[in-house]
Structure formats: structure tokens, C-alpha cells
Structure 1
Amino acid sequence: MKLKMSIVDAFADKLFKGNQAAVIVLERWLDEKLMQDIAAENNLSETAFLVKEKNDIFNIRWFSPLCEIDFCGHATLASAFILFKENEALTSIKFYAKAVGNFEVYKKDDGLIQMNFPKREPVKVQEFPNELLEGLSIKPKEIYKNVQAYFAVYEKEEDVLNIEYKSELLKKLAPYDVVVTSASKNREYDFVSRYFWPASGGKEDPVTGSIHAGLTPFWANKLNKNILVALQASKRTGVLFCELKEDRVLISGKAVQYLEGNISV
């Protein structure tokens, strides 16, 4: 069986930046093990599988090389990019994912693709897990947590950029991942972050759209502004345009296609 597959650099305006995602649009779902095997073979942060339902809603599922992921922003951006490319008349796409519910993605006039996600604001943690403190080379000022990850908050941007981590310790925090973040001293950005997820997908994720559903309300409150620009400071880097709008978070970015082809399974 041959399947069409695209690879897209999401949250990037040129190749080899942002985060790679594979996109496979299906007529019907494949066996779950096969989808996981394809994602492992691709060895990208995520492979997105989509099936269009009768009501024109795309059911979307995301797989890392290790397991199925509840919520993935960059692979959603990549998927929308491919769907918009294949049908230029489209200006919005409706998606459904079990852990996220129904949400919509829009093609904006300025070239950005905007995703409308539920707000996932973190809450402060009073007791710091030892695995987190010992797994990060620099002690955070504060720690928060939402349904996805621990948020290690720093005063200095340099700490976020220079921090080292121990995968074997952070893996023990599963099912939670770890995001480290600070305000940015660069006038181009409001805040910076890095994302470590050894339990769910690998070591450091290049760009993580989903965690910005938590970072956006957190920094909106800290900085007293609802429209923010974020830099995920991985080796590939990625820029995210974020807006807090009541109980929703709008996350926008650009994308570039790297590959279009077929896989044989």
C-alpha cells in the first residue's frame, strides 16, 4: 500500500528551521500499530494522520516516534499548511482531536496560519519534584504545572539558553514533560522557552506549539499584555505569534514544505 506523505517545517519561514512534521491524509484510519510504526520510521517529533469526516471536520491524531500524543501544535500547523496548499480556496479548516475537542485553523492575509486552541494555563507548584530540580542544571525561580508539563520559570534569559538537562531524571516525571521559560530581553520577543520531553518523544523538541497554550496565558498575566511574540530557543529555533482571547489561545506561525512523496507500507 502506498500513502502520500508530506514533511513540513512548521513555525519557520525558511527550510531547516522550526519543527519538522510528517502529514498523511487518509481515507480511513490505519491500524494503530501501523501508524506508530510509520511515526517511528519517520523519526520526527510528530507524524500527523488525518481523516475527513462527513461533516467536513478533519479528525487528527499525532504520533511521536515513541507513542501517540494527546495534543500537538506544530503538526497541526503543518497539516493545515498542506490542506490549504491543496485547496487554495479554503480560508479555514475545522479539526477534532479527542484531548482538545473541536477547534479551527485559519489562513490569514499576512501569510500566517492561526490555530484556535483551548487555554491551558498552569498553576503554581509549592513542592518541587526532586527529579525536576536534579534534572536541570540551573534551579528555577518558580515551578508551575498544567495537564501537559512542568513549567520551570527563570529570571534570566541566559539561564534558559544555557541550561542543561538529564533525560534519565526528567523521564521519571512522566506523563509530564518540562518547559523552561523566561521573559526575553530581545525586543523582538516577549518570552523564550525550551521544551524537554524524554518520556514522550525524545530529548529536546525544536518547537512546541501545544505548550504555548499554557505559556501564553502565563506570560500574558506576568507581562500584562494579551498579544505576545515567543521564541522557542532550540537549535532550529521557531517563532510563534500568540494571543490570549478569553478562554482560548490563538497561536500563529508560518510553514515551509520540505518533501512530498509516497511511502510503501
Structure 2
Amino acid sequence: MRIRIVDAFTDRPFAGNPAGVLVLDAFPGDDRLQNIALEVNHAETAFTHPLPAGGEADWALRWFTPAAEVDLCGHATLATAHVLHSTGTHEGPVRFATRSGVLAATPAEDGSITLDFPTTALTPVTVPDGVTEALGTQPLSAHDTGPHVGDLLVELPDERSVHGLRPDHRALGAHSRRGVIATARAENPALGYDFVSRCFFPNIGIDEDPVTGSAHTALAPFWAERLGRTTLTGLQASPRAGRVRTELRGERTLLGGRAVTVMEGELLA
């Protein structure tokens, strides 16, 4: 069983968000999928297999963190599409059947890939008690991303506040199903990005996710409303960092980026 490690939302190795990718003939049992993801020990491991021709999707796709299966994952979808295209396993746009419906990934001539994901609806909420203490800074606002994504999105006063976060991960876990997205407007858009973010997901075994595609389905509508533009670029300011191009199209959000395969091996167990 071939396994690849792919760095997503980056054009260079050892940056962006690493994901395990396994191309299979069919899915084994859930316990085996979870054990493989735990062994890989990256934020997500993606498992995919081909579907019969003529259906609404070309491939089935599932994502597992080291601790649980998740409903939506951007970087591992990008990594999977990259593997299928770079190995010649699939040509042109690919449609994945997932827990979040059919998700499309379209390659461009420059090597980038654009994902077509559902837009996350945001509900303004009062900043929950304890969030300020857990983050170490006072948010300007808070939004619930709903059950599908399962995060609390908080806006911070400035970009410096996002970079400087040293949160209490255990305490953050009490305030959402998955975790907390912290974001702020970019201080200098001339650097090529419009907003910054960091994502903390202690409830699924990820203290800080390096680059999170699913979070950008909430960040895109949040910042499109404030900045007055539907096409934006976000910098996820984790230690590995990565950039995500976003385009808001009503109920759908396009996420663009690149990926690099950094490792290939054989799963023996």
C-alpha cells in the first residue's frame, strides 16, 4: 500500500500543511484507517479510491486526524488532488464524494489547484466567557461557524496579535466542537495577503493546524464583507505558514493553492 506525504498550500517542501495520502482500491475498516492516521501523525491523512464511471463523483475521499474522522478538510483534499494529477492517475478536474457532498478540484496550467467547497455560514455571538483568558488577548468579535465546521471564529485587533498568540489549548477546547480560528486584517496588503489567521483544534488532537482550508470557507465570507471584495488571499501564520487564495461565490467558496510531494513509501503493516 503506497503512502505519500504532501505539503499543501505551499510551493516548497517543509512548509504549508503536511498530509498523508493513500490511493486505495477500496476503503478498509474504520479502525484500520484510524490506526494509519495515528501512525502518520499529521493533522490529516486522506484516503481515496476510484468510483464507477458515470456517477456524480470520480473518487471517494475520507479524512482522519490522529484522533478522529472529520467532515471537511481542505489541505488533505488539495494534497489528494495533487497526487492524482502528478502521478497521472486522474487527468483534469476531479470530483470527490465526501461527508460534505461532492467537492471538485481543478488543476491549472501553472500547477496550482482550485478547490470548490461549501461556504460556511457565520452567526455572530458574544465572546464566550474564558476565551479571552485562553487566548491571552481580547477579541473584537466572535462568530459561530455552525455544526458542519465546528469552530469559533474570533477577530483580533491587529495582525501582531495573531502572530503573538500563545493560547492555552486545553482551555480553548471548551468553546467549540473542533476549535478556534483567530484572524485579523493584514497590516500591509502590499505583501500579498489581505488577512491573517491561526487555527487551534485541540478537540481533534491538533493544537495548531499549519494551514486550514476548511477554516477559509468561513474566513472568506467574513473578510469579503469587511473588505468589500470577493477575491482575497489569506496568510495562515503558523510556524510552517501557507497562503490560501479565496473567491466567494455565494454558497460556494473557491480555495486555491499549490502542493509538493515530499515523501513516498510503502505501508507494510
Alignment-derived partner of residue 223 in structure 1 = 227
Q: Does structure 2 retain, via aligned residues, the 8 Å contact 1:121–1:218?
A: no
Give the TM-score normalised by structure 1.
0.95
Alpha-carbon deviation of 1:184?
0.2
Alpha-carbon deviation of 1:80?
0.1
Q: Deviations over 1:110-131 (max 9, x none)?
A: 32100000110322103x2223
Alpha-carbon deviation of 1:133?
2.5
Alignment of 1:20-169 (within 5 A): 20-54=18-52, 55=55, 57-87=58-88, 90-98=91-99, 100-126=100-126, 128-147=127-146, 148-169=150-171
Is 2:266 aligned against 1:258? no
Give, in whole Å, the separation in 2 of the partners of 1:110 and 1:87: 16
Local SS of the residue matching 1:211: helix
Give, in whole Å, the separation in 1 of the partners of 2:186 and 2:205: 27
Which stretches of structure 1, 4 residues or longer, exceed 3 Å deviation after superposition? none
Q: Deviations over 1:12-66 (max 9, x none)?
A: 1100000000000111111101111111111101000112111352111100011
Which amino acid is the alignment partner of residue 121 of structure 1? A
Local SS of the residue matching 1:203: strand
Q: How many residues are paired up?
A: 261
Local SS of the residue matching 2:138: coil
Alpha-carbon deviation of 1:89?
6.8
Give, in whole Å, the separation in 2 of the partners of 1:33 and 1:158: 42
Which amino acid is the alignment partner of residue 143 of structure 2? Y
Give, in whole Å, the separation in 2 of the partners of 1:118 and 1:202: 23
Alignment-derived partner of residue 242 in structure 1 = 246
Give, in whole Å, the separation in 2 of the partners of 1:89 and 1:234: 32
Local SS of the residue matching 1:20: strand
Alpha-carbon deviation of 1:174?
4.2
Q: Does structure 2 retain, via aligned residues, the 8 Å contact 1:177–1:197?
A: yes
Give the TM-score normalised by structure 2.
0.94
Alignment-derived partner of residue 175 in structure 1 = 177
Q: Does structure 2 retain, via aligned residues, the 8 Å contact 1:121–1:215?
A: no
Which amino acid is the alignment partner of residue 259 of structure 2? A
Local SS of the residue matching 1:264: coil
Which amino acid is the alignment partner of residue 166 of structure 2? E
Between the two proteins, what is the percent identity of the paired residues?
Answer: 36
Alpha-carbon deviation of 1:246?
2.0
Structure 1 spans left out of the alignment, 5+ residues: none
- CA-atom RMSD in angstroms: 1.3
Local SS of the residue matching 1:210: helix
Local SS of the residue matching 2:109: coil
Give, in whole Å, the separation in 1 of the partners of 2:174 and 2:182: 17
Instruction: Give the 3 Å change call, closer, same or farther, for CA 58–88 of structure 1 in structure 2.
Output: closer
Give, in whole Å, the separation in 2 of the partners of 1:242 and 1:212: 7
Q: Does structure 1 retain, via aligned residues, the 8 Å contact 2:244–2:257?
A: yes
Give, in whole Å, the separation in 1 of the partners of 2:178 and 2:110: 35
Local SS of the residue matching 1:192: strand
Q: Does structure 1 retain, via aligned residues, the 8 Å contact 2:178–2:202?
A: no
Local SS of the residue matching 2:163: helix
Q: Deviations over 1:152-191 (max 9, x none)?
A: 1012110111012101111223413100000101221100
Alignment-derived partner of residue 10 in structure 2 = 12
Q: Deviations over 1:194-235 (max 9, x none)?
A: 000011132111000111011001100110001101100000
Give, in whole Å, the separation in 2 of the partners of 1:198 and 1:45: 11
Alignment-derived partner of residue 193 in structure 1 = 197
Q: Deviations over 1:90-114 (max 9, x none)?
A: 120011112x101211001232100
Local SS of the residue matching 2:244: strand
